[in-house]
């Protein structure tokens, strides 16, 4: 289930309050590859597992939030630092 655009229009990063946007397919593929290779962690230190079908990234490009079954998981502890994926943009 994909995230509804009208919801996306009002969502912001819970940390920075910057708008969020969808990650593109290329970035999602890199995110999934990093998760499946156990190279990715949430802010709380727990591992991110793949595959990842949908994710949002803050407009400043700093934080990534997963979308599970159409529901964005906008918890500070469940953010993924975009720095851990150099070159990922979406």
pLDDT tens per residue, range 1-50: 677 788 888 999 999 999 999 999 999 999 999 999 988 999 999 999 98
Cβ-based neighbour number of residue 38 at 10 Å: 11
74 in any annotated domain: yes
Q: Is the pTM for the entire model greater than 0.85? A: yes
Q: Are 34 and 84 in contact (CB under 8 A)?
A: yes
Number of domains observed in the structure of the chain: 1
78 in any annotated domain: yes
90 in any annotated domain: no
Give the angle 79-58-24 at the CA atoms, nearest 5°.
Answer: 95
Determine the Cα–Cα distance for residues 45 and 62; give it in Å rounded to an integer. 17
59 in any annotated domain: yes
Q: Which domain holds residue 26?
A: 5-85
64 in any annotated domain: yes
> 88 pLDDT band (50/70/90 cuts)?
very low
Closest CA to 85 of 30, 43, 14, 48: 30
């Amino acid at each position: 289930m994909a995230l509804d655009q009208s919801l996306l229009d009002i969502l912001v990063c819970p940390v920075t309050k910057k708008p969020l946007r969808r990650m593109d397919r290329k970035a999602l593929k890199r995110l999934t590859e990093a998760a499946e290779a156990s190279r990715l962690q949430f802010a709380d230190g727990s591992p991110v597992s793949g595959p990842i079908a949908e994710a949002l990234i803050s407009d400043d490009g700093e934080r990534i939030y997963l979308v599970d079954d159409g529901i964005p998981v906008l918890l500070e502890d469940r953010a993924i630092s975009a720095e851990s994926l150099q070159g990922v943009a979406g």
